[in-house]
Structure 1
């Protein structure tokens, strides 16, 4: 009886852990309450109960921001593993429900979402209508964090990508090409030296795709005039159509553009898209089908 009573005292709920993690992520009780759709007093009660059961202080205020204590940081690491295990358990059970394949949470960049995923999602919907797929768009850094925290089941990102808990599998070689308006004379292949003669539109700094382009220019020992940087390949293409310069973008984004033309770079430039999952992620039937559909689509590219 004593051991049972002791277990009841020290047990805490998944809701309490989720509230705690959301408070740390948002930096305030009120913001966490908005995200979770509950009242701030309810969040405060969950945190108090959790701290009481563990016998430690988990949250402290630093200026205006609410942050985790050292004990809270340690618990947060355990919470991420617990959340991953719960997600895997739910996904595993989903495949046993009649007609259910569960849900796949996929993350990727905007370009891959627009030009690579539609064929994949169409195929899955036709063959497996009960499979639920949600897609989040972001940069490589954000996608990796979401996979590590089990907010995404898998992500298709631009290398380099690394993480102690991640399995990174190179998936697709995506050529980067020079694009210009149809009324511009493009060479068969464009060298870095030729780019110096024109204004260049590039991705904004910070992302892996821009780093790959910058590294290519550095290897060719060339400095080019970057007239404008943007965060969207679609915006870049619109400005190229307006005659504001040339651009380096993924070939998949311009292959079917009537108003644009493109040529390869010399030497050729590629970015590698990789599929990223947690190393401890169990492969549900839905995840297996998504991997298979992505592989088939990549072979077509």
Structure 2
């Protein structure tokens, strides 16, 4: 039952409201509210705080959701034994989409030099899930921002480079020359998500700090390619964590909105087990020498 309530908490964090969480989980909104009220009894710190008319998750809620995810995935694996043979044949690396583009070539070369017979298997999910997979031994490395409140138990991390997210619009968008977030208050936004942290949260945080209404998310896309296609052909705005996601084709049609107010910045980090094996440590050492300058 406790795990179910943690799953309800995760749904609210991922989908932004109790109503959306209920729809995604196939339950009623009162069931979500009841479950979270029961869950709150296990915590001294509040799981939600009011921001305007909305209830937003606290750092304690984010920590609880991530710990619950780790526990649920460990239970789901049950008594399964990892395939040691296949693990010796594959480097399993989780990366966010922008990290895969920025670090992919360096990852490939580092893996090839460390063990030429092992292929590189890149995968992507939200940051919390990838770190849970790393903690559970399903991944060798993760390249991602650290989710807020993540305890990082059993992990070690290195900062790779800074991320300065920007707002983007199609070139002739009526708001393409906006200078403040206030000027964007009427805009509809597209996102890639849901995720535990990253561009969407950066946008929410920027509005919350200025005591503005949350941005209106009109579309949630499965990947950045589909999001950029929508931005290119509609009046949607979006936030990209790194300009590399634009690609050459989109750069002529999609522009950064020149806001005077910077969005919150964060660090791209490399996560690994606290005690990496010799081959993994050798691969990481090679990777760090091959990454482009921050």
Fold in common (TM above 0.5): yes
The structure with the largest strand share of the pair is: 1
CA distance in 1, matches of 2:124, 2:194: 18
Indicate the residue corresponding to 2:274 in structure 1.
279
Instruction: Check 1:126–1:152 CA distance in 2 against 1; reply closer, same or farther (3 A cut).
Output: closer
Instruction: Check 1:205–1:125 CA distance in 2 against 1; reply closer, same or farther (3 A cut).
Output: closer
Determine which of 224, 227, 234 is the counterpart of 1:243.
234
Indicate the residue corresponding to 1:108 in structure 2.
95
Q: Which has the larger radius of gyration?
A: 1
Indicate the residue corresponding to 2:205 in structure 1.
215
Indicate conservation of the 8 Å contact 1:171/1:298, yes or no.
Answer: no
Indicate conservation of the 8 Å contact 1:205/1:211, yes or no.
Answer: no
Deviations 1:137-188 (A, max 9, x none): 211121111111111111112222433211133322122111111223633x
Shift of 1:109: 2.0
Number of residue equivalences: 210
Indicate conservation of the 8 Å contact 2:145/2:268, yes or no.
Answer: yes
Instruction: Check 1:263–1:293 CA distance in 2 against 1; reply closer, same or farther (3 A cut).
Output: farther
Residue ranges of structure 1 left out of the alignment (5+ in a row): 1-71, 95-101
Instruction: Check 1:211–1:283 CA distance in 2 against 1; reply closer, same or farther (3 A cut).
Output: farther
Instruction: Check 1:147–1:126 CA distance in 2 against 1; reply closer, same or farther (3 A cut).
Output: closer
1:112-127 maps to which residues of 2 (within 5 A)? 112-113=99-100, 115-121=101-107, 123-124=109-110
Determine which of 205, 224, 230 is the counterpart of 2:221.
230
CA distance in 2, matches of 1:190, 1:283: 50
TM-score by length of 1: 0.58
Indicate conservation of the 8 Å contact 1:106/1:154, yes or no.
Answer: yes
Indicate the residue corresponding to 2:166 in structure 1.
177
Indicate conservation of the 8 Å contact 1:111/1:233, yes or no.
Answer: no
TM-score by length of 2: 0.60
